[in-house]
């Protein structure tokens, strides 16, 4: 039990609340869920949550992935029809990332218009202030000079999703935090037990922006070609000696060290020759400016090409 909790907490920002997690772990068939707005590209930011879901899967959780087509629609991403096509592509990406056959993929529009569901949304609407609903969307809402009423329905639906999917854990990136907290407050009022909320860190964009996001083009997609990976990393923001907010250091933390003890860096003799660095050594060496950004970039490029190989091969086999 303690061991499981330790694994679950690994490389997350927070677990709310840990005591409740213990209860969940003692259940027979616990359910973990994450919702994704269908997106033109599935990138490394998404991959962080998918890897956590894979981990939960190995710990005995039933995984439900919500392909939140209605949410994307409410967020102004296109027509429901267009979005559901993208959802199908996203599903393939998720499978390519290694979620197993027991994973359940659920299209939001399949259940989000049912009478009971809708009634719960209306109930919640009477219990939630406009400002609170708007505020919860701070990090999620598409930028809009003229915000729509839809953006306030969104968090209400996300709350009711948790009840409808009967999840014990709601996993998401840190940008989901305010909605998740709204949900934990709202669900008891509707007579439901709120899930344990687990938040994973946000990856900085390759351009150094606060957040990797599909709308800004500052991401590596999980199905990018080897050439695209090389080119994107080559162009990435990577100040020498700076660890904080450095997307390449973050990629090493999240996509190399969970699987390898040492990061292997191939470096020309004239710059000091090859290196093998543990996570701590990488932070220290790079932070002192003793590892050139280009050597780091080359190393990360090799690892990412290998890490994403299964996804590329899976996607190719599907088309």
Catalog residues that contact RNA under the rule CB under 7 A: 145-146, 207, 234-240, 267-268, 271-272, 292-295, 297
When the beta carbons of 10 and 225 are compared against RNA, the nearer one is 225
Question: In angstroms, what is the minimal distance from the CB of 58 to RNA?
Answer: 36
Cα distance between residue 49 and residue 287, in whole Å: 27
H helices, E strands: number in the chain: 14, 8
List, as own/partner pairs, every contact residues 288-297 make where C-beta atoms lie below 8 angstroms and the sequence separation is at least 24, other chains included.
288/241, 289/240, 289/241, 291/265, 292/240, 292/267, 293/238, 293/239, 293/240, 293/248, 295/265, 295/266, 295/267, 295/271, 296/238, 296/248, 296/249, 296/252, 296/265, 297/233, 297/234, 297/236, 297/238, 297/248
Question: In angstroms, what is the minimal distance from the CB of 272 to RNA?
Answer: 7
Cα distance between residue 31 and residue 166, in whole Å: 7
When the beta carbons of 57 and 214 are compared against RNA, the nearer one is 214
CB distance 299 to 229 below 8 Å: no
Cα distance between residue 163 and residue 217, in whole Å: 34
Question: In angstroms, what is the minimal distance from the CB of 93 to RNA?
Answer: 24
When the beta carbons of 25 and 206 are compared against RNA, the nearer one is 206
Question: In angstroms, what is the minimal distance from the CB of 217 to RNA?
Answer: 8
> Which regions of 149-273 does DSSP assign to beta strands (E)?
169-173, 196-200, 263-265
When the beta carbons of 32 and 265 are compared against RNA, the nearer one is 265
Question: In angstroms, what is the minimal distance from the CB of 317 to RNA?
Answer: 31
Question: In angstroms, what is the minimal distance from the CB of 290 to RNA?
Answer: 9
When the beta carbons of 27 and 240 are compared against RNA, the nearer one is 240
Question: In angstroms, what is the minimal distance from the CB of 294 to RNA?
Answer: 4
* DSSP state, residue 135: H
When the beta carbons of 164 and 300 are compared against RNA, the nearer one is 300
Q: Is the dihedral of CA 132, 137, 143, 149 positive or negative?
A: negative
When the beta carbons of 145 and 227 are compared against RNA, the nearer one is 145
Q: How far is CA 67 from CA 33, 36, 73, 91, in A?
A: 11, 5, 12, 8
């Amino acid at each position: 039990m303690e061991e499981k909790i330790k694994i679950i907490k690994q490389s997350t920002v927070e677990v709310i609340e840990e005591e409740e997690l213990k209860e969940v772990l003692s259940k027979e068939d616990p359910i973990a869920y994450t919702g994704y707005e269908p997106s033109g590209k599935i990138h490394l930011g998404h991959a962080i949550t998918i890897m956590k879901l894979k981990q939960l899967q190995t710990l005995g959780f039933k995984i439900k992935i919500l392909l939140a087509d209605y949410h994307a629609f409410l967020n102004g991403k296109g027509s429901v029809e267009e979005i559901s096509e993208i959802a199908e592509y996203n599903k393939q990406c998720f499978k390519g990332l290694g979620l197993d056959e027991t994973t359940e993929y659920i299209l939001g529009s399949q259940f989000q218009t049912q009478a009971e569901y809708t009634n719960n949304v209306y109930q919640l609407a009477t219990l939630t202030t406009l400002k609170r609903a708007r505020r919860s969307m701070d990090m999620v809402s598409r930028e809009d000079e003229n915000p729509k009423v839809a953006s306030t329905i969104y968090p209400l639906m996300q709350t009711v999703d948790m009840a409808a999917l009967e999840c014990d854990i709601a996993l998401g990136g840190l940008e989901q935090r305010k909605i998740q907290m709204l949900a934990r407050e709202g669900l008891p009022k509707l007579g439901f037990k709120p899930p344990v909320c687990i938040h994973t860190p946000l990856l900085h964009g390759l351009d150094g922006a606060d957040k990797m996001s599909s709308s800004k083009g500052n991401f590596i997609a999980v199905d990018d070609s080897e050439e695209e990976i090389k080119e994107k990393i080559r162009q990435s923001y990577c100040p020498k000696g700076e660890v904080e907010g450095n997307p390449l250091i973050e990629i090493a933390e999240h996509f190399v060290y969970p699987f390898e003890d040492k990061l292997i860096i191939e470096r020309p003799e004239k710059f000091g020759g090859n290196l093998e660095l543990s996570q701590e050594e990488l932070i220290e060496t790079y932070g002192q400016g003793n590892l050139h950004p280009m050597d780091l970039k080359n190393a990360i490029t090799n690892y990412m090409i290998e890490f994403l190989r299964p996804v590329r091969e899976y996607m190719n086999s599907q088309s």
